[in-house]
Structure 1
Amino acid sequence: MKVKEIIVNIVAVILIVMFFITMFVFILFHYANSATALKDSLTTLGSFFSGIATLTTAYVAFILYSDWRFAKKFDIQLSYLNRIQDNAIKLRSIIHSHRYFFLESIYRSKSDSFNFKEYSKLTLDLQHIHGDIIYYSENIVCDIENLSSLVNFQLDLDGGDVLSKINELDAVNIQEEEFYSVFEGGYCFKKIENYYNFLTYDYHDFLYSKIIKSCVISSSLILFAKK
């Protein structure tokens, strides 16, 4: 029931109760042979209903406050969902925009003329891309955890799944301790190719099927819970 309907019902009930109590008190004074039965009854009721009015005002204020808190909580829930979806879309955009970089890097790293200077620049660029992906991915995890603490039902979103993908992505990335061995062993292209394949196929699809679609489902659940 909406707040407006609750308040209207409260006022209607109070008016009806006031009418019947007024008639009851008037009858009491009338049969008590009071010359001023109406005046006495109104005075008595005035004192009585001043207290009732105070309690009613407090109750209405409580309803308004509770409704405001509910609406605010609802807005926060949707805000987290929007941020999760926006970060997932941003990640997919980053992945898509760097497809050419990865394909070119794989091609160049297979060349006999590929040197350490090129390798150093390539890995530096790769770390920048990787850093952006981890940043937005961790934001998604954080927002999922915060959202989970605000809803009273099981979300279709799981921050643990995103963390697993982050760990898998870290695992296929060129690690600091293998920086030189990757170049000297001549399998730089293989490392980049593995990273590219995981990022553009596995993680890219995961962001859509497990994050973006789940945001739509969760949004529907939140809207249903609001009703």
Structure 2
Amino acid sequence: MRIKSSISNVISISFVALLFLFAFTWIIFDFNGSSSSLKDTWSIVTSIFGGVTTLIAAYIAYSLYDDWRKPQNFNIEADHKREILRFIRKITPLEKKYNRLIMNHFIYSNDPDRTIAIDINEVELNTFINNINELLGLMDELYYMTKDRNIKNLNDHYLNYAQLYTYILIHSESLYKENEKQKLQEFLGTNLKFDFIDINGEQWSSSTLYAYAFKGMQQVKMRQYFSENIKSELD
């Protein structure tokens, strides 16, 4: 509807302008006593009309492309956001599983009934890490498309946690199997400090113990951000 209105306005203005130009040119030629004032007027106006129609055609082509491009870009961005949510849904259950496993060994170190063996399934861990890498890659792509700084900040914030996952799991498993309970406690009590920027653009300093590091999604609130973002675009 918008493009039809714009094109109609451009054509109408161009037509009126050419009428004024025709009348003005004819008056000038007739005033100067030209014997072929009408012919000369038509010649000039026709030449100008050819140029004007070329410009109008270019404008219409650009408007059509621009109207096509905007929804197309919107669809691509929406697809990326849905893919991001899909990977978040894959990652979250394993984060919760690993969080319970590691955290319980830290909290209930003297209560074996509250803990289970740290025996990491390599295939499951690789799938978990691959999904995280896919998620971070999708967020990078979406940031390049939208230049939304919140996406970059969420990505960087989550990476503070995710980069620890493999190291914590593998080292914890090794200490557990070597029956190094004290070293495992000390390791899980390691405190990591980091800075991050929230979605309001404010910079913060935070920290996490290795024992509680598997709460990346919960702490960053990535799922909430993208769910609300998609909802606001649909409203």
TM-score, normalised via structure 2 length: 0.64
The 8 Å contact of residues 140 and 159 in structure 1, kept in 2 or not, is answered as no
Q: Distance in 2 between matches of 1:8 and 1:153?
A: 36
**Larger relative CO (CA 8 A, sep 6+): 1 or 2?**
1
Residue matched to 2:128: 133
CA distance in 1, matches of 2:94, 2:169: 17
Q: What aligned pairs does 1:151-190 form with structure 2 within 5 A after superposition?
A: 151-155=146-150, 157-175=153-171, 179=174, 181-185=175-179
2:192 corresponding residue in structure 1: none
Question: CA RMSD for the aligned pairs?
Answer: 4.1
Aligned with 1:214 (options 215, 225, 233): 225
Unmatched segments (≥5 aa) in structure 1: none
In structure 2, the CA distance between the partners of 1:196 and 1:91, relative to structure 1 (3 Å rule), is farther
Structure with the bigger percentage of strand: 2
What is the count of residue pairs matched by the alignment?
Answer: 200
Q: Tell me the percent identity.
A: 19
Tell me the amino acid that sits aligned with residue 8 of structure 1.
S
Q: Deviations over 1:61-104 (max 9, x none)?
A: 234334444444333322222221121122235557x69x96xx
- Secondary structure of 1:185's aligned partner: coil
Residue in 1 aligned with 2:141?
Answer: 146
* SS of residue paired to 1:123: coil
More helix by share: 1
Question: How far did 1:36 drift?
Answer: 5.0
User: Using the alignment, how far apart are the partners of 2:120 and 2:88 within structure 1?
Assistant: 24
Contact 2:161 2:213 in 1 (8 A): no
* Consecutive unaligned residues in structure 2, runs of 5 or more: 106-111, 189-209
Summarize the Cα distance change of 1:21–1:170 in structure 2 as closer, same or farther, 3 Å threshold. same
TM-score scaled by length of structure 1: 0.66
Please list, as runs of the form range in 1=range in 2, the aligned pairs for 1:1-227 lying within 5 A after superposition: 2-34=2-34, 37-93=37-93, 123=119, 125=121, 127-155=122-150, 157-175=153-171, 179=174, 181-185=175-179, 199=214, 202-203=215-216, 205-206=218-219, 210-219=221-230, 223=233
Q: Which residue of 1 aligns with 2:201?
A: none
Q: Does the CA contact (< 8 Å) of 2:22 and 2:45 recur in 1?
A: yes
